[in-house]
Chain A
Amino acid sequence: SAVISQKPSRDICQRGTSLTIQCQVDSQVTMMFWYRQQPGQSLTLIATANQGSEATYESGFVIDKFPISRPNLTFSTLTVSNMSPEDSSIYLCSVYTGGADEKLFFGSGTQLSVL
C-alpha cells in the first residue's frame, strides 16, 4: 500500500497567480499521476510523472500551464500557472504500486478556488 500526503489541502488564489501543490509518498513508487476533478465531475488525468523522465501530458493539458517536477521516487509537485477561475477544481495526486498489490492510491486532494 501507499500513504500519500498532499499539501495544501485547500487554497484560495487570485487570478493570474500560480500555486504549487506538493505530493509526498511514504514509499518509493515509479508511477505518479496528477488528476483534476471539476465540480460535479469525474477525475480527468492531467499527466503521468515518472521519475527520471519528463512528465507525459494528456490531451488538453500543457506543460506551460501545469509544470510538474518529479525529483525522486517519493515526491512530486504540480504547479497551476497563471490561474483563472476556470482552474477552480480539486487536484489529486495518485500513485500506482506494482507487485502483488497493483493499485492506484490517492492523496486527499487540494481544493483550489480562483477568484
Chain B
Amino acid sequence: KQEVTQIPAALSVPEGENLVLNCSFTDSAIYNLQWFRQDPGKGLTSLLLIQSSQREQTSGRLNASLDKSSGRSTLYIAASQPGDSATYLCAVHQNFVFGPGTRLSVLP
C-alpha cells in the first residue's frame, strides 16, 4: 500500500531564505505527483504537477523535482515571502493519497 510522508512537519524561516520541502513515497509505480498549498480555512491550490516521465517542473519561484527510483520529490521555494506561509501538501497519482503536509511560516 502506498504511503506518503513529508518532512519537515513544520518550518519557520525569515523572509528571503531559500527552502526545500520533502515528500517521500513507498511505491515508485506512480503516474504523476502534484504539489498543493492550503491556506488556513481555505481549499487546496495546485502548485505544480510532475508527470512520471519528468524530473522537474518550474513555476516562478517554485521548482519541484521527482526521483521515482528513490521515492522522493522535493519542492524548492526561492526567496521566500510572508505570502508563502501555508501548508504544503504532496499527492501521489497512484492511489491519490496525500502526505501529512509541511506547515510553513515565513517571518517578515
Q: Which A residues fall within an 8 A CB radius of B?
A: 33, 35, 41-45, 48, 92, 94, 96, 102-109
Contact yes or no, A96 B46, CB < 8 A: no
A-B contact count (CB 8 A): 43
Residue on A nearest B32 in the bound complex, by CB:
A102
9 example contacts (A-B, Cβ-Cβ < 8 A) are as follows A35-B98, A42-B99, A43-B44, A43-B89, A45-B97, A104-B34, A104-B46, A106-B44, A108-B42
A94 to B91, CA, bound (A): 12
Q: Which B residues fall within an 8 A CB radius of A?
A: 31-32, 34, 42-44, 46, 49, 51, 89, 91, 93, 95-101
Q: Chain A CB within 10 Å — which of B89, B96, B99 has the most?
A: B96
- Neighbouring A residues of B51 by C-beta, 8 Å: 102
User: B46 to chain A: closest CB distance in Å?
Assistant: 6
